[in-house]
Structure 1
Amino acid sequence: MESNDAPVLIDRLGHITRVTLNRPRAINALTLEMVEIMIQALEHAATDGSRAVVITGAGDRGLCGGGDIKAMAQDGAQHAHEFIEREYVLDLMTQELAIPVIGFMDGITMGGGIGLTGHAAHRIVTETSRLAMPETRIGIVPDVGGHLLLANAPGHLGEYLAVSSGQMDAGDAIALGFADVFVPRDRLPELTTALAEGGEDAESIERIIASFTTAAPESKLSARQREIDELFGEALSAPSFSPAALDLGEWAIAAALRLVALAEERMPEVASTIREMSPTSVIVTLAQITRTRQLGLTLEQVLRDDLRVCSRLFQRDFVEGVRARVIDKDNAPAWNPATLESVEAADIATIINPVE
């Protein structure tokens, strides 16, 4: 096992390799060093006889609050690009590894935490789970493959969460396809031991997890799906468009403006929330989710999109978003452009182009 001071702890327990994010004071926020350690750990686990990898987080606050966005904003766009490029390699590995990855999405699991576990073979939530892709609050868009999960969520719940930076509890996460099963938090250590002792193959791993599973709470978001679908469905309905960047950008701007106008009449709190987000981020998010769904993109294709789009957004509202939300915490970001009405289609096209 690694030194307790290491940012990631790797230990072999019987049939499994356990990977523990170990920056509890920062809600285990990811750094490039941590990503590199985990890439090596997963590669090793796939060849050392391990039957599964369990990803968990140290401390009581959560699995992972996301990437270390303060460091990313301060280190500059190039360093941020280098970080997410390696982060996305890790995210894809969690889906494609030769042995199953099991994610304990306990407590706060946001942004990069969802990238680590949201594409895994077994995704476990607890009564403390709080999941979100809150990137529009800081001037980027849902990445780490998260907008693929949002695109595949029932109805328009994905778009609603994305443009409002909304949160999910355990019941929501399962209903929206971000998680698979509910296990009480206090049983996670026992589940880890059971997997280490009896998880000899895929069938036994599934059987063990099922034996710890209990009914999840009802999804509050699902109870609101009808009104959300009606609002977003009307706002996002439009004549068909091609996936070409300019066409998609024009559609996304019009859709965002329709959405806010309709929400001001029917769900004013939603309209107010969207207005607080980066206008560019809201529009690009709607474009990305719609195109991903329309073209049926794979996780690998979505991550390639994420890399291109986020690398460009790092040079726009991101630094200001992190300043306002994380550093100064005045919650008064000076977005540029400042409003949805002032965003231009050609500008959106430069962010999402080329379409591959």
Structure 2
Amino acid sequence: MSSVVLFDTIATDNGFNIGVATLNQPQVLNGFSYEMATLLQQQMTQWEQDQSVVAVILTGAGDKAFCAGGDLHALYKSMLENKEGNAWDNHHAREFFEHEYRLDYHIHTYTKPVICYGDGIVMGGGMGLMIGASHRVVTETTRMAMPEISIGLFPDVGGSWILNRLPGKTGKFLAATGAQIGGLDAMFLGLGDYLIDRANWGTVLTALKKANWSAPQHRQHNDEVIAAVLSSYPAQSVSGAGPVETHYAQINALSRHTDIVQQYQVYAELANHSDEWLVRAAKTMLKGAPLSFVLAMDLLEKTKHASLADVFRLEYNAAVHSAKLGQFQEGIRALLIDKDKNPQWSPTSVAEVTREQIEYFYEDPMPANQPHPLADLV
């Protein structure tokens, strides 16, 4: 049976190696699992310590997705089995989120270049893997989003951190609506660093093999080697402006509200807009969980000046609590289990969400005598 992550190396012409990690679950769009997180963490740690390895490439098997998100089926099963109703008693959820977030943080702080090939669908957990990479490649097929509002969660995996760092108020809008963007907007927003044509990826790998690498301690040189190669193959298949760039001024103007109900209503009115992309964004929000909308907006405000490590710790708390409250479970049920696409959210409106309900997500879920699972992130 094939591993859920395939590991290989590319031997460079001047005697070094490039590690290649391929998410290998194409039948489920490379949905990110606990096993994937564990295997990737082990191998990336080994490659980081190996002085023959000069860089790491993250990619996905198949031609549809780099990674479409987390393994929601396993999380759903763990929520059903947690009869006690205590968030900390869901062992799978707390261990999955710890290992996933720890890996994501490791990518952000990796001491060697990480090239992420974000071809096809890059959503949720896939975004977590990609946003911390030093060299993020997008293509004409890239479909990127943080659509957690649709499943009763919130933009996690460091989403609060990266969304706060996008131009203007675009991060707020993307968190609220789960709107999908392509390679052009990924470049405009700084979520992608290089836009290439999918057809040229094999040529890029050959050029990286032939490049003049230095030993790993010469990180700046190797970063520049990668940048030179990736910059040599600009996309020819797409050009112009994506919908976020096109509507940038409008998105900023609409996203200025601090009153949560008013902000929701302003976004909701886009459902009547003449632009199809804005309509779809508004309708996705309207079908999503009101509690998720409020939590996502509050997290962005709360973490505006927080460190990356503190963001991951806070998101961990919120994720573990989300696996208890029922909205996350209901969202997965409606989308993936019963597939009726008719979730029964509670609260049923943004106006019904209380401050007390939001503050609950920020509480440490572990017993008082235990350190936070991500306490060592600095």
Asked if Structure 1 and Structure 2 have the same fold, meaning a TM-score greater than 0.5 normalized by the shorter chain, the answer is yes
RMSD: 1.8
Counterpart of 1:40 (choices 34, 39, 42) is 42
1:9 and 2:30 matched: no
CA distance, structure 1, for counterparts of residue 193 and residue 339 of structure 2: 35
Q: Show the counterpart of 1:31.
A: 33
1:299 and 2:326 matched: no
Please list the CA deviations of residues 200-227 of structure 1 after superposition, one character each: whole Å capped at 9, or x if unmatched: 1232222112212347632221111111
Q: Show the counterpart of 1:309.
A: 318
Please list the CA deviations of residues 47-95 of structure 1 after superposition, one character each: whole Å capped at 9, or x if unmatched: 2211100000000111001111111111234312210100111111112
Provide the aligned length of Structure 1 versus Structure 2. 331
Counterpart of 1:74 (choices 64, 77, 83) is 77
1:197 and 2:207 matched: no
Query: Counterpart amino acid of 2:233?
Result: F
Equivalent residues in 2 for 1:280-295, closer than 5 Å: 280-293=291-304, 295=305
Once the two structures are TM-superposed, the CA of residue 260 in structure 1 deviates from its matched residue by 2.7
1:99–1:278: structure 2 CA closer, same or farther, 3 Å change rule?
A: same
Counterpart of 2:349 (choices 328, 336, 339) is 339
Hey, which of these two has a bigger chunk of helix by percent? 1
Whether contact under 8 Å (2:264, 2:350) holds in the other structure is: no
CA distance, structure 2, for counterparts of residue 47 and residue 89 of structure 1: 18
CA distance, structure 1, for counterparts of residue 62 and residue 193 of structure 2: 23
CA distance, structure 1, for counterparts of residue 363 and residue 268 of structure 2: 31
Once the two structures are TM-superposed, the CA of residue 97 in structure 1 deviates from its matched residue by 1.4
1:262–1:35: structure 2 CA closer, same or farther, 3 Å change rule?
A: closer
Q: Show the counterpart of 1:147.
A: 160
Whether contact under 8 Å (1:163, 1:277) holds in the other structure is: no
1:168–1:74: structure 2 CA closer, same or farther, 3 Å change rule?
A: same
TM-score by length of 2: 0.83
Query: Counterpart amino acid of 1:337?
Result: P
Once the two structures are TM-superposed, the CA of residue 172 in structure 1 deviates from its matched residue by 1.0
1:206 and 2:243 matched: no
CA distance, structure 1, for counterparts of residue 73 and residue 356 of structure 2: 30
Whether contact under 8 Å (1:130, 1:169) holds in the other structure is: yes
Query: Counterpart amino acid of 2:55?
Result: A
Provide the identity percentage.
33
Please list the CA deviations of residues 258-317 of structure 1 after superposition, one character each: whole Å capped at 9, or x if unmatched: 113334556544655433211111001001112222x2x232221111101111111121
1:265–1:167: structure 2 CA closer, same or farther, 3 Å change rule?
A: closer
Query: Counterpart amino acid of 1:213?
Result: P
Moved over 6 A (4+): none
Query: Counterpart amino acid of 1:310?
Result: A
Query: Counterpart amino acid of 1:225?
Result: Y
In structure 1, stretches of 5+ residues that fail to align are 237-254
Please list the CA deviations of residues 320-356 of structure 1 after superposition, one character each: whole Å capped at 9, or x if unmatched: 00000111121111112121121111111111347x9
Range with greater deviation from structure 2 (43-52 or 257-266): 257-266
Whether contact under 8 Å (1:16, 1:199) holds in the other structure is: no
In structure 2, stretches of 5+ residues that fail to align are 12-16, 80-89, 214-221, 273-278, 365-374
Once the two structures are TM-superposed, the CA of residue 19 in structure 1 deviates from its matched residue by 0.4
Provide the secondary structure at the position in 1 that maps to 2:224. Answer: helix
Please list the CA deviations of residues 24-62 of structure 1 after superposition, one character each: whole Å capped at 9, or x if unmatched: 101111111111110111111112211100000000111
